[in-house]
Amino acid sequence: MLWLVAVLVVDSSIAAQPPRAESPLSTAGAATALENTLIEAIARAEKSVVAIARVRRRAAGESPQTDPNDPDFLPNEYASGVVVGAAGLILTNYHVLGDPEQNDYYVWLQRRPIKVEAVHRVEKVVAGDPWTDLAVLRVAAEGLTAIKFADVKTLRKGMIVMVLGNPHALARDGEPSAGWGILANTGRQAATRRRSLVAGSQRETLHHFGGLLQIDARLNLGTSGAAVINLKGEMIGMMTAQTPLEGIGQAAGLAIPADDVFRRTIEHLKAGRRIQVGFLGVSVETLSQQLWDRGFRGVRVNQVVPGTAADRAGLRVADVITHIDERPIKDRNELFHYLGGLAPQAQVRLDLLRGITAESDGDREQLTAELSKRFSQLAGPAIGALPYPSWCGMQLDYATAMPPRLFRDSGHLMDSRGCVAVVKVEVDSPAWQAGIRVGSFISHVEGTRVLNPAGFHKALGDPTGATEVTLCSEDREGRVLLISPRQ
């Protein structure tokens, strides 16, 4: 038997020399350079970070609360935020709001408290989105400095990061507190709470499917909404949760990355729009160990919801989705995290394997699906200054976005070939008088099938007289109603 032996030859003169010690001056210089970098980064970003207090609105007859202008004022509920618009636009977490109908909010900036002003029809809040856990407030201030965002595509574990926020409400003097650590991970999931899965496998937020930054910095109460910045003073994310798991120590935190979805959401919220979330309409499972050992990667479809984008695109049970828009998919969280960042009517390309058996590797297929809309308000109602479009006293939404409590009662009426859902009807309005109720589905307007609210209003045109709509019914034949707008 032939043995191969590797021999390491070391120059004895080199080996005999002890390692050269760093000089005290060079070590001190490196430390000073890092210190100056941190100081400069904080100085660039801190003027865009604010402290937020949430104060329960007093009921009639209640004793007055401490004035937020009082230096001794200490709120029971407090958080952080960042400036995203020079004209007083402040970004924070949606969960910071609580109930806007029962709370007042105050923002400390430049050493003075500024009460949030009413905006359009929504008191104090321009818009808030439970799916992304983001909200925008407007304060009565001008000439503010908006935070600068970093390119998060370059983030790597081990990068030095800083957190600027309002721990324990200490930043009421207008000076945010700073902490620092490293970026510990770039793809964490939010902790699942007991009430998170009230709608089966549907989760409360986009972050329950992953994508969060894990920050290795000591965090305290009040850092929700805090800015996470890099060494250039640019924002890479916003703190959203103190710990990856409930009940665990506080020397870690999770942040929403300032990626394309984050920035797009901010622009919608600044405009007062409610965020809409794309929906494919499948349930998937991990591949069996046997398929994994054979080299297959992806997720296996175990249910296709009738009438959804997946159904119309031709997806079938047992198909294996390997890529979406050329992105490889390893598990269900990757698939739903990507879909959760898209809007309704987005076109997605699905690469899949069909017909895999113990003997066959199946056939490669490629499908294109146009997403519908998912219900995304399990964590609370969406808030927006712009009203929903309505007609004759009723509001419509995608059939797939009907609230779960309504869908349980009337989902069996949904036309799988396409329809829209009625989610609100004003009593005694023309729609009400015609017999339309919340939970109804409408499949046609003047004989034209409608798949979404935009299609409904397009088919409607500009009617001056009675309009014919077809209401989905138990017998699948449909019930034709005439609705006449009030003159």
Please, what is the Cα angle at 180 between 174 and 184, to 5 degrees?
135
Are 436 and 471 spatial neighbours (Cβ–Cβ below 8 Å)?
yes
Question: Sign of the CA dihedral 158, 160, 164, 167?
Answer: positive
| DSSP 8-state symbol, 62 | P
Are 140 and 93 spatial neighbours (Cβ–Cβ below 8 Å)?
no
Q: How far apart are CA 100 and CA 56, in angstroms?
A: 9
Structural domains in the chain?
A: 36-59+67-275 (2.40.10.120), 281-370 (2.30.42.10), 388-483 (2.30.42.10)
Concatenated DSSP letters of 445-470: ETTEE-SSHHHHHHHH-S-SS-EEEE
pTM to 2 decimals? 0.87
| Six token digits for residue 10 | 């070391």
Please, what is the Cα angle at 21 between 17 and 26, to 5 degrees?
145
Concatenated DSSP letters of 186-249: EEEPPPPPTTTTTBTTB-SSGGGGS-EEEEES---TT-TTPEEE-TTS-EEEEEEES-SSTTS-
Residue with tokens 């959804």: 308
Q: How far apart are CA 162 and CA 147, in angstroms?
A: 14
Q: How far apart are CA 303 and CA 308, in angstroms?
A: 11
Concatenated DSSP letters of 100-133: TTTEEEEEEETTEEEEBPPBTTBSSEEEEETTTT
Measuring CA to CA, which residue among 389, 391, 372, 365 is closest to residue 462? 391
198 CB-near residues (< 8 Å, 6+ apart): 378, 404
Q: How far apart are CA 282 and CA 371, in angstroms?
A: 11
197 CB-near residues (< 8 Å, 6+ apart): 203
For the chain, 487 residues long, give each residue's pLDDT as a single digit of tens: 333 333 333 444 444 555 565 566 578 888 899 999 999 999 999 999 999 999 888 766 566 567 777 777 888 899 999 999 998 999 999 999 998 888 889 898 876 777 776 432 234 789 999 999 999 999 988 889 999 999 999 999 999 999 999 988 888 888 899 999 999 999 898 876 554 444 445 578 999 999 999 998 877 788 999 999 999 999 999 999 765 555 444 557 899 999 999 999 999 999 999 999 999 999 999 998 988 888 899 999 999 998 899 999 999 999 999 999 999 999 999 999 999 999 999 999 999 999 988 788 889 999 999 999 999 998 889 999 888 888 999 999 999 999 988 888 898 999 989 999 999 999 999 999 999 999 999 999 999 999 999 999 999 887 778 899 999 988 878 899 999 887 5
